[in-house]
Structure 1
Amino acid sequence: MTLCAVRATGRVASDETARASRTPRTPIYPCGEPPAFGEARELGSDLCWIRLELPFSPGHINIWALRDGAGWAVIDSGFADATTRAAWAHLLGPQGPFGQHERHPRLLTRLIATHMHQDHIGMANWLASEYGVALWMTQGEHAASLDAAREAQGALPEAHRALYRRAGWSERALAQHAARYPRAEAAALHALPADYTRIAAGDTLHIGAHAWRVVIGAGHSPEHACLYCPERKLLLSGDQVLPRISSNVSVWPHACDADPLGDWLGSLAHLAHAVPDDVLVLPAHNEPFHGLHARLADLRTKRERALARLLALLDEPKRAVDVFGALFARPVDGDVSLLRMATGESLAYLNHLQHRGEIESSTDAHGVAWYRRV
């Protein structure tokens, strides 16, 4: 397979297959095999691909490093655990690809966080304290992370009980969630650096010799930052668009009536308008790919088909926990963390249909919501 190559102009070139079609029907992966966990692979003189291990699905996260003057700016940081700390210690150590040497000062200049999920910002505070790396992120993501960290300091908030009881959880599932909540949340959430540089929609970030425009997405998280470089035809997409898997879009207890699926679908349309199809997409998970617009269309089509299946099921009243079969291929059983994720995503679909006026809901004497087609 022809790997990604960088021409003298600094633009990332695709392979012959990608050049043959401006809008491939399926993503094309021109960059070959990913690097091993904890290693970096150059995709040109000023772009590196790092892959870090995750202790949960999908098992990895991509970290992108962009040459930034004498050092490197990195996009996202990985999950805060001993494996990731060891990987960063190697990467930034004297023998690592970003280690500081007398003639090659290559340490990190800044960490640009796409969004607040812990596989993306978990190591931010450690990198800031150990290596003095400055954090850049949107205000919405920074605030949401601080709120989540504060909430996780106590027992299960009443808003959680109310949401999941309303969705149809059993008392046993509620008790299991309450028992694991403080431990699970505390293990996942880590404080962010107190100071950060705010980025916002339309901002231009000058990273090394190139300008990157901030393009904001929503639905997966509050104010997700993608970075687009027109000169190099590159899009750093974070979790907003992925080639093999779909971003989780869920309703959470602090905003139980929100329409995150509507926000996410709107973001797909915005990305298609703001970023041309000829970019190489550098996602947070899976491999770099060509075929942005086809992938955006495919993601929207799949969500609309799921909405149609759900709507057909609601000729009779259903609770959120009754609709999993219309939305998910795998059974949702046993694991309360899986139940939580499935419930959040199901509520996103139900809320979206309600916002479109296609279904209505009523609450019974036990505080459980029942949804039915209008």
Structure 2
Amino acid sequence: MLTYPFEDIPAPGELKKVAEGVYWLRMPLPMALDHINLYLLEDADGWWIVDTGMAVGRTEELWEQIFERHLQGKPVKAVIATHWHPDHTGMAGWLCDRWQVPFYATQAEYLTGLVYSRSAPEHFGWTNERHQMRSGLGDKGVASARQSMGGIARITRPMPTSYCRLEEGTRLTINGQRWQVVIGRGHSPEHACLFSDSLNVLISGDQVIPRITSNISVSGDEPEANPLKAWMTSLERFQEVLPEDALVLPAHNVPFYGLHYRLRYLEEHHEEHLIALEEACLEGEPTALELLPVLFKRDLDEQHIGLAIGECIAHLNYLYHRGQLERSVDSEGRYCYQSVDETLPMRLRKRKHSVEEVDPIQV
């Protein structure tokens, strides 16, 4: 089970100590997920910032408030990004310029962020258009995706023009504590988590979050990608290389204990989605758009349907590449999916039997 050791949440512009030399802060986000957790690591002669917030609203003002009230007269030494998404790198360029300090990221995250932060609607090509049509979203989906192509630039300050590369096993010594980079994949191409063995603390970014599941998505820039395979492999590997009793500091929700429990839940969550999609593709050859209700029981507004389609296609690509689904293109240019795995009826019976055996009082 998961346990949450901290009852109070730091107010915007304030810090909360969560381990020796490790401080938790929050920045607001203009969306349903209305916050991001960021972390400051205190060194003898300065501070390391882990993730930055989005370049919107009061974020710059709140950073200046933190600099004035909480740095104890010591400068910022470096900025680290767990991954490229704009809530994690949106202020990276400003922070690095403000303090004239290096930017640390993995190569894939830095280069991906650099490309997306400079993209505009005119960069939306025929491959992206075809991807939207294949998903079943049609002309409306094409128009929405084209418009969103320039959205990241509006919430990201210009990215740093150089970086220090993080890789699997990279070690950073901060205040005498050694932090090791552990790479996860699937949510983003080369997500850097930071683990301190001496503190038994994992800064997990979006790779492990306690109360929501990270988006695992396929987009038009790599329509045949299989990020769910990379994600599932990462979940298994994290259970092998990271301790069960580590304090996990995630990018959203709140810090928690119960790392392995959460990793196993995430594996089971996606396995349930996979078999549900296989079952839904036994008849009718549905499109990705038609399969959304299998994965999402709530109504999806325009803001969320793009992410939902991306998540659905990630599951469908996983099954397709594994040979459990076939797909064809219909007269409207949409991919239609059909289950072809002969073991599916047996697996469905086994799943139904295991569900019936669960004591409902214990659920």
TM (norm. structure 1) is 0.87
1:235 is matched with 202
Task: Give the whole-Å Cα distance in 1 for the aligned partners of 2:149 and 2:213.
Answer: 28
Say if 2:106 is the partner of 1:138.
yes
What amino acid is aligned across from residue 134 of structure 1 in structure 2? P
1:323 is matched with 291
Q: Is the 8 A contact 1:212 1:228 kept in 2?
A: yes
2:53 is matched with 78
Q: 1:215/1:38 Cα in 2 relative to 1: closer, same or farther (>3 Å)?
A: same
1:7 is matched with none
Structure 1 residue 57: deviation in Å? Answer: 2.9
TM (norm. structure 2) is 0.90
Say if 2:326 is the partner of 1:360.
yes
Structure 1 residue 186: deviation in Å? Answer: 2.9
1:150-181 superposed Cα distances (whole Å, 9 cap, x missing partner)? 33363533222110101111323323443x33
Q: Is the 8 A contact 1:156 1:181 kept in 2?
A: no
Task: Give the whole-Å Cα distance in 2 for the aligned partners of 1:268 and 1:206.
Answer: 26
Q: Is the 8 A contact 1:212 1:227 kept in 2?
A: yes
1:294 is matched with 261
CA RMSD of aligned residues (A): 1.5
2:251 is matched with 284
2:161 is matched with 194
Give the gaps of 5 or more residues in structure 2.
341-363
Q: Is the 8 A contact 1:146 1:192 kept in 2?
A: yes
What SS does the aligned partner of 1:43 have?
A: strand
Say if 2:63 is the partner of 1:88.
yes
Q: Is the 8 A contact 2:119 2:149 kept in 1?
A: no
What amino acid is aligned across from residue 359 of structure 1 in structure 2? L
Say if 2:2 is the partner of 1:27.
yes
Task: Give the whole-Å Cα distance in 2 for the aligned partners of 1:76 and 1:332.
Answer: 29
Match of residue 158, structure 1, among 99, 123, 126: 126
Task: Give the whole-Å Cα distance in 1 for the aligned partners of 2:86 and 2:321.
Answer: 30
What SS does the aligned partner of 1:255 have?
A: coil
Task: Give the whole-Å Cα distance in 2 for the aligned partners of 1:315 and 1:189.
Answer: 44
Task: Give the whole-Å Cα distance in 1 for the aligned partners of 2:150 and 2:109.
Answer: 23
What amino acid is aligned across from residue 197 of structure 2 in structure 1? P
Say if 2:11 is the partner of 1:36.
yes
1:5-154 correspondence runs (5 A):
26-93=1-68, 96-98=69-71, 104-152=72-120, 154=122
Structure 1 residue 257: deviation in Å? Answer: 0.6
Q: 1:323/1:86 Cα in 2 relative to 1: closer, same or farther (>3 Å)?
A: same
1:168-247 correspondence runs (5 A):
168-178=136-146, 180-182=147-149, 184-247=151-214
Aligned length: 339
Match of residue 267, structure 1, among 234, 237, 243: 234
Task: Give the whole-Å Cα distance in 2 for the aligned partners of 1:112 and 1:80.
Answer: 16
1:251 is matched with 218
1:226-272 superposed Cα distances (whole Å, 9 cap, x missing partner)? 01111111111010000111100000111111110111011001111
Q: Is the 8 A contact 1:151 1:157 kept in 2?
A: no
Task: Give the whole-Å Cα distance in 2 for the aligned partners of 1:144 and 1:268.
Answer: 23
Task: Give the whole-Å Cα distance in 2 for the aligned partners of 1:45 and 1:185.
Answer: 35
1:80-130 superposed Cα distances (whole Å, 9 cap, x missing partner)? 11311111011112xx112xxxxx432211111100000000000111112
What SS does the aligned partner of 1:154 have?
A: helix
Task: Give the whole-Å Cα distance in 2 for the aligned partners of 1:262 and 1:76.
Answer: 26
Structure 1 residue 183: deviation in Å? Answer: 5.0
Give the gaps of 5 or more residues in structure 1.
1-25, 99-103
